[in-house]
Amino acid sequence: MTWQRRINGALVKFTGVQLTRARPAATSSSEEQAPAPAPEELVRPPADPGVDRLLVAPVFVMSPVRSGSTLLRSMLNAHPELHAPHELHVRRLTVGFGTALSRKAMEALGHNQADLEHMLWDRVLHRELVRSGKRTIVDKTPANAFAHTRIAACWPDARYIFLLRHPASIAASWYEADPVKRTREEAASDALRYMKAVQRAR
C-alpha cells in the first residue's frame, strides 16, 4: 500500500472524506486552438499562377459594414455570369503543419504556410464558382478590407469594386442593427475602423 492510500484511508476513517484524482477536463470544440494565420513576411504571389491557382480574375467588393453590400451582392448574383454568394470569410481559413516533418516536406516542395493558405482559399472559391455554373465569383465580405494585401498577393489578377457610404450613416445603421451589442460610440469607432481599412485598400 502506498503512502497516498494510507493517508486517504485515514481521512476516510476519521473524517469521512476521500480524495480522488480529478480527470482532465474535456476540451470543447470552442476551446480548441486553430492554427495562427501565416505571418506577413511569408506572404508572396503564386510562384506559378497557371498551376497554383484555379480561379481566374475573382472580384472582391471592398466596403465597410452597413454600406449596402448585401443589396449589391444580390444584384450582382442575379447576373447570369456572376456568382456572388454569402460572405465567405476565406481570410480566416488557416493552415497548420502539425509536425516538423510536414513543414519540412512542404518546404522541400517550395511551399510556406502562406502559400498553402492561399491554395486553400483559391480551392474553396473555385469549388463554389464551379458548382454555381457561372463564369466569375464575387466575394463581398466586408472584413476583406483588412486583408487586402493578402488578397492581392493571392490573386494578382483580382478585380475590385469599392462601395462607400457616409461614415455617420454607417455608424447609425450599425448601432441600430443591435443597440444591445454596441453603444453609439462603439458603432462610430467600428465605422471609422472599416472606412480606414477600405481607404488603405483603395
Using DSSP's 3-state secondary structure scheme, residue 38 falls into coil
pLDDT confidence of residue 121:
98
Is the distance from CB of 139 to CB of 151 less than 8 angstroms? no
pLDDT confidence of residue 162:
97
Using DSSP's 3-state secondary structure scheme, residue 46 falls into coil
What is the overall mean pLDDT for the chain? 91
pLDDT confidence of residue 69:
96
Please, which residues have CB within 8 angstroms of residue 91's CB and are 6 or more apart in sequence?
Answer: 37, 121, 141, 143, 144, 146, 147, 150, 151
pLDDT above 90: residue 193? yes
Lowest mean pLDDT among 21-30, 80-89, 106-115, 135-144: 21-30
Dist. CA 69–CA 163, nearest whole Å: 7
DSSP H helical segments within 53-160, as ranges? 69-77, 100-108, 113-132, 148-154
Secondary structure percentages of the chain, helix, strand, coil, to 5:
50, 5, 40
pLDDT confidence of residue 10:
72
Please, which residues have CB within 8 angstroms of residue 3's CB and are 6 or more apart in sequence?
Answer: none
pLDDT confidence of residue 103:
96
pLDDT confidence of residue 18:
67
Dist. CA 10–CA 51, nearest whole Å: 72
Q: Which residue has the higher pLDDT, 14 or 150?
A: 150
Integer Rg of the chain from CA: 25
pLDDT confidence of residue 82:
98
pLDDT confidence of residue 20:
66
| H-helix or E-strand spanning residue 161 | strand 159-162
Name the burial class of residue 46, with classes exposed (0-12), middle (13-18) and buried (19+) by CB atoms within 10 angstroms of its CB: middle
pLDDT confidence of residue 33:
72
pLDDT confidence of residue 25:
54
Is the distance from CB of 84 to CB of 77 less than 8 angstroms? yes
pLDDT above 60: residue 95? yes
